[in-house]
Structure formats: C-alpha cells, structure tokens
A = this chain, B = another copy of it.
C-alpha cells in the first residue's frame, strides 16, 4: 500500500543535495563550444576569466564530471532557505476535475522571491573564496538583482546592479528591496560607463534594455580591481547550480514512488527549466524513463518556437563570447506591452541542443492566457505566482485538462519559479483589463535575425 502523499513534501535538512548534477556529462551529443568573438575559436578558460570567477568558468567548460560538490560554506547558505517545498496540487486537481496528479516545486519561498538565489549564492560564494571584493550584474524584472543583493549581503561583497531604467521606474519596491540589502543600484543606461554614455547620447530618452545593462555591468567589472561580472541565466554554470531544484524534486518524489510523465518549465534564458529537468533528463537520455519535457515561453519572445539555432552574442553591444543557441538575434526587442521576465533573445546552449535533438518540446503562450492561469492558480492553490512561473502553470492546466478528456492518470510536475509579490503592477493591468497580447510578425523576427553574426559557423 502506497504511503499517503501529503500536500507539502519536505525533504529533511540532511537530504539537501551535497553535489550539483552536470547534465552535459550524460549527454551523448554535447552542446557546441563557446567561441571567442574575435578569433571565432573555442573560448579558453583564460578568455572567460577576464569576466567571470574562475570556478564558474571551470564549471562552464566542464563536460565530463557528473557530480560537482557544493562547498560546505555554500551548503550553509542553502540551509537558510532550502529545501524548497514540493507541493502536491490537490486543490488544483480537484478544481479541474482531472485524473492527473499535479506537483510543483515552489522556489519562491525565499525573500528574493525566486529560484535565482540558488546560483546567486554560488557565484557570490566563489567570488568571496577567490578573494574578490565586489561584483557587478544587471537585472530586468528584478529577481536576479534581488538574489545577488541577498547573496552579497551574506558573503560581505559589494554589489553594483545595473537595472533596466524603465523597470527601476515601474518597480520602485523591487528597487527598494535590492537597496535594503545594501546593493548600489544604477538605472541603466547611465553616465557611469562608456557604453551607457554612448547610448544616452544617441537616445537620451531611452528606457534601457537588458543587453545595454549587461554591457554596462561588464564594462564596470573589467575596469574595477578585484571585481567580476555575474549573470543569472543562459550560461551552463548557472544551470548547473540550478540542478538542485530537480535533484530535490526527484528525491522527494522517489520517497513516494512517483515518476513524472510530463515535466513543464517556463523558459527565458533557461535557468529554471534546465535546473528542474536536469536529473530527470539524465534518466531519459539513459533510457530509464519516457518522461516528456515541455518548455513554455512567451509568444512575444519566442526563441525556441520561432528562433534560429545559431551562434549569437549575449548582449546588444556584441561584446560577449558567442553561444550556439536558439536565438531571435541580440537586436530583437520584445514588445513594450510584455509584462513579465522571460524577455531574453537567446536560450541556454544545453537546452538548445536538447531541443534540437528532440529531447525537449516547446510551446508559447500569450500573456492574457498566462495571467488567466495565474489568477486561477492564486485563488485555488493560495499562492500568487510570478508572471514567469505562470507560463508553466498555463501549460500544466492544459495538460491536466487533456488528461480529463482522455481519462489518463498522468503525473505532471512543473516549476513554480517564484512569487508575484513585486509584480503587482502587471496584475493591476490584468485586473483592469488593460493588458494586451503581442505576437511578433515574421517581419519583426526578420529584423532580429539580421543581427545574428554572419560567421562561417552560422552558414
């Protein structure tokens, strides 16, 4: 007789994973190498160490080690907010009348409000261990900036956050949270950098962009002593840190003998999706499971579903190393009416490769449908979700209703990446029915694709 499954499946503290799982080690066909933008040759550790912490660079390039130990000083920080709960959505199942079992991994119980803290803590820990005294980064929606501010407060590092100007104006409380944790927050573009001044000269009234904020953060880190730049998604070492999400979820499900049939994650740069699916995808690659994996992205920024698989830059100034990924082109700008995060033009290389090779499905959703799902979920499950996470909720509800139609008793797991407490302006526009959808035309996409570099590897 199976054990009764509680609403909240908590692991014990000693069950928090002590190593991260490196999915690439089990991939038969590996992602293509990162290229140096000048030489177009594979980037070396030395190339990347000019910008990133050494240990993160090592992890970024590591395709062979299966388990990477989590240092004790970082495990200590993880114990401040982990294990994160895995929740059986009994209320949602009942409300939908579905025979499916629905579970979600809730990563929003920490003050930064999302899974981003898992990698922020790791990157701050390594920076401190390597003798650095400060870090720079950028933030758009603000979850990553909040997470880095918390991590730097804990490890005693100075932090400068370039926050996309329009976002810092629309989200004064997110800005206040970051400042409460002691970070120096600069609305971007700013006069503090060459790249910022250049953009302001050309366009004094710009609201800024993520690509521009990245350029400012990198420039500042390079010219500051004992300082490096940190990024919250897209890169492989970030996905490695996030594998703790999937490892905890799998450990909790295994206690009750449960194996997911479908795993769903929202996808912007891919940090949550990659972390959530990692150990389950390893099982699938090894032929141990037939789990389906579904990425859900906004219809307004559809890199998987309408992008190209090509080498591209990470920033609009075209200064970063080149990554082979699904991309809309670094020049692509999602419509201004797009509310949540998930507005990055590219997708993590590991996930891009898995999608290319057929291990991963993808679909997109328009934001009014996403907020319909968000408000339904909030009322039924009692948790107000982040707009990003609500993309996964929308797909989970759709899959559960499909089970209702077919009578199949599938097990669905999705990632609740965070809470929406600092996204109330988007909820206000949804409540007031002033929220609208925007789907880029083919011509819009062509403009973005034109910014993808014409290099031999892209022919």
Contacts and interface: CB of A to CB of B under 8 A. Distances in A.
Contacts of A421: 111, 113, 173, 177, 421-422
Interface string A345-380: 000000000000000000000000000000100111
A258 to B, nearest CB: 16
Count identical subunits in the complex.
2
A143 to B, nearest CB: 13
Given A10-B10, A12-B6, A181 B379 contact: yes
Nearest to A79: B7
Contacts of A109: 109
A150 interface: yes
A142 to B, nearest CB: 12
A13 interface: yes
Contacts of A12: 6
A431 B13 contact: no
A154 interface: yes
Interface stretch (A132-140, A332-340, A381-389): A381-389
B431 A176 contact: yes
A384 to B, nearest CB: 5
Given A79-B7, A382-B80, A428 B154 contact: no
A448 to B, nearest CB: 33
A81 interface: yes
Given A13-B6, A379-B153, A421-B422, A172 B111 contact: no
Contacts of A14: 6
Given A8-B13, A176-B424, A382 B431 contact: no
Given A8-B13, A421-B422, A431-B179, A382 B111 contact: yes
A91 interface: yes
Nearest to A424: B173
A431 to B, nearest CB: 6
Interface in A40-55: none
A326 interface: no
Contact of A111 (B150, B180, B419): B419
Contacts of A380: 154
A110 interface: yes
Given A79-B7, A180-B431, A378-B180, A111 B383 contact: yes
Nearest to A426: B176
Contacts of A8: 13, 79
A92 to B, nearest CB: 11
A182 interface: yes
Given A181-B378, A378-B111, A176 B383 contact: no
A181 B91 CA distance: 16
Contacts of A172: 424, 428
Interface in A424-459: 424-425, 427-428, 431
B375 A427 contact: no
B382 A81 contact: yes
6 contacts: A6-B14, A80-B381, A111-B421, A172-B424, A176-B431, A421-B422
Interface of A: 6-8, 10, 12-14, 79-81, 91, 109-111, 113, 150, 153-154, 172-173, 176-177, 179-182, 375, 378-384, 419, 421-422, 424-425, 427-428, 431
Given A150-B379, A173-B421, A173-B424, 5 more contacts: A6-B13, A6-B14, A8-B79, A150-B382, A182-B379
